[in-house]
Amino acid sequence: MNVAQIDEFFARLAARNPDPKTELRYSSPFTLLAAVMLSAQATDTSVNKATPALFKAANTPAKMADLGPAGILPYIKTIGLYRTKAKNLAALSQMLVDRHGGEVPADRDALQELPGAGRKTANVVLNTLFGHPTIAVDTHVFRVSNRTGLAPGKDVMAVEAALDEVVPDKWKMGAHHWLILHGRYTCVARLPKCPICPVAELCAFKDKTPPTPASVTPRAKPAVKSRQRDKQTPSSQRRAAKVRSGKRGRG
């Protein structure tokens, strides 16, 4: 895509969703950090089902650290890699208490030092909580960036660098939200919904999903008339039999 096409790409996504936000549910900086960390290699839906009860039991780093891995585990068993995530969440919470006074730091290096919080988590937190124009690259963003030709790259870091270079500044705050949602609901992995895609003509993907042919209504078959014998009374049957025998005799 050229500069004008990229600007139009985001303009169309923004027209559909002017104020994009994460679909993870949270009520504080800490619960957002925890939810993003738990969402690694898992869906936002699965995280949103598990976290209400977890955050009711522990909605601060101190309370979460007190739960410990064993206490966290029962709440997140429905999330992928839950054993590792329980350990990381407990350790992350303890580190926030010990090093940051129980607050979520607004610094990339400090965020990436937290157990289980990689670059993607740091980018989401910096963008969502602190207003940094960072672009988090997950599987959806990676797929959309490569498939459309927006910002091709062989790995996550390459795609992030490419997006940072080509996305106009005015779109950077919402860029990763738009790309995530576009990849989640329209530019899906197996069968992208190209016929309803708002940016289809800007997209470089060669194997676009064709429109579904209009269904052809088959011609209705003519109704088959049932041939039913006339119902006759016993007396009328006898008269009809006499008439038939009389005709045979005259022949």
Which residues participate in catalysis according to the annotation? 120, 138
Between CA 123 and CA 158, with CA 182 as vertex, the angle to 5 degrees is 45
> What φ, ψ does residue 226 adopt, rounded to 5°?
-75, 135
Which amino acid is located at 61 in the chain?
Answer: P
Cβ contacts of 244 within 8 Å, gap of 6 or more: none
Burial class (CB in 10 A: 0-12, 13-18, 19+), 32: buried
CA distances from residue 246 to 3, 232, 243, 251 in whole angstroms, order as listed: 101, 20, 5, 9
- Of 73, 67, 59, 64, which is closest to residue 25 (Cα–Cα)? 59
Structure tokens at 133: 């124009």
Please check whether residue 205 is in contact with residue 193, taking contact to mean a CB–CB distance below 8 angstroms. no
Is-contact 172 135, C-beta < 8 A? yes
CA 111, CA 107: separation in Å to the nearest integer?
6
Tokens of 75: 């709440």
